[in-house]
Chain A
């Protein structure tokens, strides 16, 4: 890529990759204890990941610091929730063939939905670097933890 991608461009990219299983079928690994990740593509402007989900895997609330992103569901389903202070989260479920996008300023969480293991394709532009992970205290206070992107995409115990 010769430039950072817009959310619309990212969505086209992840839909293209998600509908081309030849690129990633051999990399699919579902684990009960965690999501599994493989970086499919990386250049100066975009990083594309394959993520495999099952059994209520959940990212927790997070942001992507400087990166916009898009997610296309290749199999199964995932649920996206946007954090709403003082109210229920704005939620939607994306099933196979569907996709959604987010900007750098959005705070969301993504979790596995349904009984079938899910496969999603994610693209981030510029490539994900730092992230914010949000902790909601029982008092309602919100805390932001600064994380390396590896914390999201390379969980411990692989």
Chain B
């Protein structure tokens, strides 16, 4: 052993003691799973959003959308855990299904409690993104959610898409930042379904994309200056908003906001071309794995190489969730 080797040995030892992250499990930051208590409450409701028996099966009614067949097997925790194993995912963050519009209901709290308690009861690999009733944003609710093991707070994009809307959540977001917990921005609530002629994918390609872009632009303009420390995870690459940075600059907007060390973008429903384009704009450190199961399958990213997978599934989610 040369002196350099001895020095390196101790540097590595100290590094392992101080900086190692033994807990960097592969993490899918974006799935949906309606636990049993939430299914029961949705089935007991008389107004949308609700579940109704139709023949031998079930139908889901959401305000403004035609009733759609609902298969409870898509929300079976054991089947989902098995899928996670096949996906090589060790930790799943379960987001509220914001497009249902539950958070905006006057009687939201029992449904939200059923979601949080139901996911908490499942145990690993499931962890909830917490959600709050939008009518009365209360910072104490953030503490209560984090006390139950929630990964952070999920808010629907429309609720954040403008200065007055952001201001309504100022105290909540300040508390979240003070607790070093992340915000997850998900499309919703209440998509524009596009009328009776529109196919099922219509809102996912129109209002979801537009809402995520508007929320990201509002964050770039008013949100980030007000909350410099808050970690924010954007579903679905924020609707591709950072890919419009050159256009934003050309129109005099805050294009530098694409370079934000406290922002991450989940890759749900995108693939190697869009993810590679995004990687070019924001860098690989900013991307996290999100599948949107059971709505979509995990994106096929193997063509981007194992190092991208390692960053997106292991290293970057650990940075999001470190307190």
Contact = CB atoms under 8 A, between A and B. Distances in A.
Nearest to B310: A156
Instruction: Provide the main secondary structure of the chain B interface.
Output: helix
B23 to A, nearest CB: 14
A152 B311 CA distance: 12
B19 to A, nearest CB: 7
Contacts of B254: none
Contacts, number: 71
B283 A31 contact: no
B235 to A, nearest CB: 22
Contacts of B279: 129, 148, 150
Contacts of B4: 54, 115-117
A39 interface: yes
Contact of B310 (A29, A30, A154): A154
B307 A154 contact: yes
Interface in B242-287: 245, 256, 259, 276, 279-280, 283-285
Contacts of A43: 256, 259
Interface residues of A, number: 28
Interface stretch (B7-15, B33-41, B173-181, B189-197): B7-15
Contacts of A157: 310
Given A29-B19, A115-B2, A150 B307 contact: yes
A154 B319 CA distance: 15
B11 A30 contact: yes
A42 interface: yes
Contacts of A19: none
A40 B308 CA distance: 19
Contact of A127 (B19, B256, B283, B307): B283
A55 B311 CA distance: 24
A32 B5 CA distance: 9
A118 to B, nearest CB: 11
A42 B5 CA distance: 33
B304 interface: yes
Interface in A33-63: 39, 42-44, 47, 54-55
Instruction: Report the 3 A-B pairs with minimum CB-CB distance, sorted nearest first.
Output: A150-B284, A150-B307, A151-B307
12 contacts: A30-B11, A31-B12, A39-B285, A42-B259, A115-B4, A116-B4, A117-B7, A148-B304, A151-B305, A151-B307, A154-B307, A154-B315
Given A117-B11, A148-B308, 5 more contacts: A39-B283, A54-B4, A148-B276, A150-B279, A154-B284
